[in-house]
Structure 1
């Protein structure tokens, strides 16, 4: 029967049935995106070498130059042992804040974010992938640094569970805060080419004022006060509480490890980074309209 005959007979032809395609959950997409981001990261050999080798190279340089110093901050503490927590902290900042702030700016400049925004992938899955990639690479980088410190420079690692629990929450909060702040800061560079020039000096200045390269109590008081406003100081202090004996806490500004203040500052930067990132993140270049 033709369509005309059907209409004359009062029969209305039903439209073809639509097949609905249900996307996987955001968590599943985020995990898949994490795998993709990790593969992309390891394809960029220069970034891999910098992120993984920088803390190890700096530890080697400073431990060699100042290796004769002992009783740093506490009896029996060598310079390599004192320097290790700062390198762990700066490694976290490199693999989270600096790496994301730079790569996202480049992806935006090259149009990758604009194309990605036109796909069905939820924005939340994209950000979960970035954070997941940071967690994976930061964990690998930290593990490599600890192995080198223990094997090459005989730095004693913690032997009790409580210190490793402290290490876990300080590392997790520091990595998460650095990741979301990196996402938020990625909107500051005007182009992908200027991203490194904008991000790298910020990280270098924070390293110097936060007691990463020197004993924190040797820094001027005004520099110590300035560093207390930024998370790297607290991240390094939290790591010192893991790898240094309890007697070294007396050398800290407050005379203790201040775990409560460390957690509060890192959580605050995590929240602030989320809010700023949600409000300022851009999928396209500034000149794209």
Structure 2
């Protein structure tokens, strides 16, 4: 077997190559209609469906006694789901497909460092995640007339939950890309995992109405904590009592996401290969 030796590049050049790949990855992403719909527009579509279907239902009242609409209630969950879709689902399927169609094998024969490849992928997730969140917030404000937070500390919480969540999901997606044995099976392997997590983590169903054992299972995974962090930003503080432990627990949100970030980093290190050994 021929061993491919890739020369070590200076850090500055590796970063420049990574930046160039971010641009290429974003362009390629928006050229794929299925990726745009199922990862970029899907949360917006689901927000529209739930907001319309439950438009005559109140999900509680805010601090002024006004009803919290379905759109306002489901917005935090859709923002969290968007991070999971853009990061974990998109990268897991995309990298598995690139490994299957020979793209990674061709890149292995170039001077491109692995770190530049990852910068490109994570940068693409960050850019598309920001655009997706901005679109959701604009639609929420101007189409569904949702009053967005005005307190700076709320937006600070949103910023760190978003950033930590999107990076964590990106690394988990890279690690999970080793699970499908081919590009054809990638969607069949990854999408059911993502769907189950959304249903048990308070994205589509009210989390406090789920059985306790299901809430406990959801608490083992990052989406539950991302959704809880987003609810802390966009729902009235009185809604904190509906959480499993009766509080927003932002410290636990940060800890859980940091733990999963480490899991993703370790998983990436152990599982990522330019070429599958069993290929």
TM-score band (shorter)? over 0.9
> Relative to structure 2, which stretch is displaced further, 77-86 or 130-139?
77-86
Shift of 1:43: 1.5
Shift of 1:284: 1.3
Of 262, 270, 275 in structure 1, the residue corresponding to residue 253 of structure 2 is: 262
Of 178, 197, 201 in structure 2, the residue corresponding to residue 206 of structure 1 is: 197
**Structure 1: gaps (5+ residues):** 1-21
Q: After the TM superposition, which residues 1-20 of structure 1 pair with which residues of structure 2 at under 5 Å, given as runs?
A: none
1:66 aligns with 2:57: no
Q: After the TM superposition, which residues 8-47 of structure 1 pair with which residues of structure 2 at under 5 Å, given as runs?
A: 24-47=12-35
- Which residue is equivalent to 1:244? 235
- Which residue is equivalent to 1:10? none
Query: C-alpha separation between the residues in 2 aligned to 1:203 and 1:58?
Result: 15
Of 155, 180, 191 in structure 2, the residue corresponding to residue 164 of structure 1 is: 155
Aligned-residue CA RMSD in angstroms? 1.5
Asked if the contact 1:73–1:251 (Cα under 8 Å) also holds between the matched residues in 2, the reply is no
Query: C-alpha separation between the residues in 2 aligned to 1:72 and 1:206?
Result: 25
Moved over 6 A (4+): none
The TM-score with structure 1 as length reference comes to 0.89
Q: After the TM superposition, which residues 1-289 of structure 1 pair with which residues of structure 2 at under 5 Å, given as runs?
A: 24-72=12-60, 75=65, 76-288=67-279
Query: C-alpha separation between the residues in 2 aligned to 1:220 and 1:72?
Result: 20
- Which residue is equivalent to 2:4? none
Residues 114 and 227 of structure 1: is their aligned pair in 2 closer, same or farther, counting only changes over 3 Å?
same
Structure with max Cα Rg: 1
Query: C-alpha separation between the residues in 1 aligned to 2:72 and 2:109?
Result: 50
Q: In the comparison of the two structures, how many residue pairs are matched? A: 268
SS in 2 for 1:39: helix
Shift of 1:71: 4.1
Shift of 1:164: 0.4
Residue by residue over 1:96-122, the C-alpha shift from the partner in whole angstroms, topping out at 9 and shown as x without a partner, is: 100000000000000100110111111
Shift of 1:286: 4.3
- Which residue is equivalent to 1:8? none
**Structure 2: gaps (5+ residues):** 1-8
Residue by residue over 1:152-175, the C-alpha shift from the partner in whole angstroms, topping out at 9 and shown as x without a partner, is: 111111111110000000000000
